Structure 1
């Protein structure tokens, strides 16, 4: 489930980057790379786990699937938080800088 969650997030963000972020102001490509990196990490984890467990890999317990799903969601949210902090630091439109100068 972690692999699936990260892969879905990576595909969605990549499509948004490809079709909507022509000026690269939002730095969505960076978020896309973070999610693809997470997907690659979970893919390697799945391969190693399959090597260890063989056929048992394909019959996980429902509790394990739920835990993996929550872990995948946590990774996606953490990626969004990192991207948001990076985006606020870069402040491409200068919105944060204008508000701080006003006060």
Structure 2
């Protein structure tokens, strides 16, 4: 399940990045590389687990499937968190910077108006 979930996330993020110029501007390439890296990691894990278990690999217990699902979703969420933090730090569209400066200018105007009224 981990391989399936991370590969699905990698494919979706790659398609979004490819067809949407705004996604490229928002650095979704970082996100797709994180997902493809996780997919390769889980592929290696699946190969070694298959080498160990042989045909038993294809009949996992329900509890193992549930654990793998939670692990796969955790990896997807962790990659999203890393991407959001990266976005906040780099601020590719300048949104955070303009918002902070706008509030700072607004506070300065308010202080100036208060001084003038006193």
| TM-score tier (shorter) | over 0.9
CA distance in 2 between partners of 1:65 and 1:50 (Å): 15
Aligned to 2:49: 49
Larger fraction in helix: 2
**Any unmatched runs of 5+ in structure 1?**
none
1:21–1:28 CA contact under 8 A, matched in 2: no
How many residues get paired?
Answer: 103
Over aligned residue pairs, what C-alpha RMSD do you find?
A: 1.3
Give the alignment's TM-score, normalised by structure 1: 0.94
User: Partner residue of 1:93?
Assistant: 93
**1:18 is matched with which residue?**
18
Alignment of 1:1-103 (within 5 A): 1-21=1-21, 24-101=24-101, 102-103=103-104
Instruction: Name the CA distance, whole Å, in 2 between partners of 1:23 and 1:15.
Output: 10
Residue 21 of structure 1 deviates from its aligned partner by 2.6
8 Å CA contact 1:9, 1:76 repeated in 2: yes
Normalised to the residue count of structure 2, the TM-score between the two structures is: 0.83
Structure with greater Cα Rg: 2
User: Where do 4+ consecutive residues of structure 1 move more than 6 Å?
Assistant: none
Displacement after TM superposition at 1:13 (Å): 0.3
**Secondary structure at the counterpart of residue 24 of structure 1:** helix
CA offset at residue 43 of structure 1?
Answer: 0.1
Higher relative contact order, structure no. (Cα contacts within 8 Å, ≥ 6 residues apart) = 1
